[in-house]
């Protein structure tokens, strides 16, 4: 956990819930975090990608977060601590705050240059989404469901 904090430049103390969840994930246990909005679930997600990459010895780990809708707020983009790719319904990736065509950015995302991937379940269910999952499966260390 300490190494992940250092790598992501987290300078503040984690909450008890965050610490327990990350410790559980580091032990490769299925983990459910049920806390309210603004209580640090996203930070758990970002840190878990780093931690699980180290535990599983994967150099470019990828975490996939499914959201019930694909409404991605600019606020989430501005507050991220890790390079994040948001897969949209149109097949584009939004990388950090810039929009990039899917074909141009897909290889960067699939190679692990953007460790955090966020999209809706309906996108992953389509054939292109299924192919994307197959392409990242060797680097995939974490899957999570965000209640939106």
For residue range 134-148, list pLDDT tens digits in order: 999 999 999 998 875
Contact 103, 115 (CB under 8 A): no
CA distance to 22, 65, 101, per residue, from 17 (Å): 9, 19, 38
Is 7 a residue whose pLDDT tops 90?
Answer: no
Q: At 77, is the pLDDT very low, low, confident or very high (cuts 50, 70, 90)?
A: very low
Which is more confident, 69 or 128?
A: 128
Instruction: Give the Cα separation of 21 and 60 in Å (integer).
Output: 22
End-to-end CA distance of the chain: 26
Instruction: Give the Cα separation of 78 and 84 in Å (integer).
Output: 11
Q: Which two tokens stand for residue 113?
A: 């240059």
The predicted model scores a pTM of: 0.82
């Amino acid at each position: 956990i300490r190494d992940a904090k250092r790598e992501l430049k987290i300078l503040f103390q984690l909450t008890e819930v965050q610490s327990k969840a990350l410790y559980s994930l580091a032990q490769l246990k299925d983990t459910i975090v049920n806390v309210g909005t603004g209580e640090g679930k996203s930070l758990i997600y970002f840190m878990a990608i780093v931690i699980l990459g180290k535990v599983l010895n994967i150099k470019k780990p990828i975490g996939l977060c499914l959201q019930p809708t694909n409404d991605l707020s600019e606020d989430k983009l501005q507050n991220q601590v890790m390079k994040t790719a948001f897969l949209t319904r149109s097949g584009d990736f939004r990388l950090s705050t810039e929009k990039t065509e899917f074909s141009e950015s897909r290889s960067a995302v699939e190679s692990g240059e953007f460790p955090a991937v966020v999209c809706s379940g309906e996108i992953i269910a389509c054939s292109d989404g299924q192919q994307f999952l197959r392409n990242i499966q060797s680097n995939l260390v974490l899957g999570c469901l965000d209640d939106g």
